[in-house]
Amino acid sequence: MNDPLSALLSQVALSNRTAFGKVYDLTSAKLFGVCIRLLRDRAEAEDALQEVYVKVWNNAAKFQQAEAHPMAWLIAIARNHSIDRLRARRAPALDLDEAYDVADEAPGPEASAIAGDQKTKIDHCLDQLSDDRASAVRAAYVDGYSYLELATRFKLPINTLRTWLRRSLISLRECLEA
């Protein structure tokens, strides 16, 4: 692969600031788009983008050209960092003593029956997909695996994996609407 971005990342791994500036110029708009799409707040996305480039600077030596396209690697860093920021927004867990004081908010019998019926229908629709595609959907949308992790797991190019997921979601929607 004779990709200029790969060559620049190799130079960044050697602490080349000029190459780092070029990587930033080539990729910052795309990575900012990833951050803002997930975080939905411009100021937070700007902060996240800065932290993403610190990670790129510190981890450029870990980039394996043969395993991933450089832009996919960078997008995965931005996506995962943004998701980490979203998780950090969540309220901290209650202290054990405080947890006992929380009122039982378990769903009533009617809500439980509806939720159980929906789960059964979703499971039925997932069973209509091939095993590998159903597994990919569960891993992406239930377990939270990134596209890069799934592409590696299923030994597929990342765009093929995205196509799998998009088509699988369309099939699931059609099945659920039927």
Could you read off the pLDDT of 117-176 as tens digits, one per residue? 677 888 888 888 898 998 888 888 777 788 888 889 899 898 998 898 889 888 888 888
Query: In this predicted model, what pLDDT tens digit does every residue of 7-32 receive, in sequence order?
Result: 999 999 999 999 999 999 999 999 99
Q: Give the percent of the chain with pLDDT over 70.
A: 83
Query: Which residue in this structure is represented by tokens 């690697």?
Result: 73
Instruction: Give 109's Cβ-side CA count (13 Å radius).
Output: 0
Q: Is 144 left (phi over 0), alpha (psi -120 to 50) or beta?
A: left
Q: What is the pLDDT of residue 68?
A: 80
Domains assigned to the chain: 4-89 (1.10.1740.10), 109-177 (1.10.10.10)
Q: How many CB atoms lie within 10 A of CB 85?
A: 18
Report the C-alpha dihedral over residues 35, 38, 41, 47, rounded to 10 degrees: -30
> pTM score > 0.75 for this model?
no
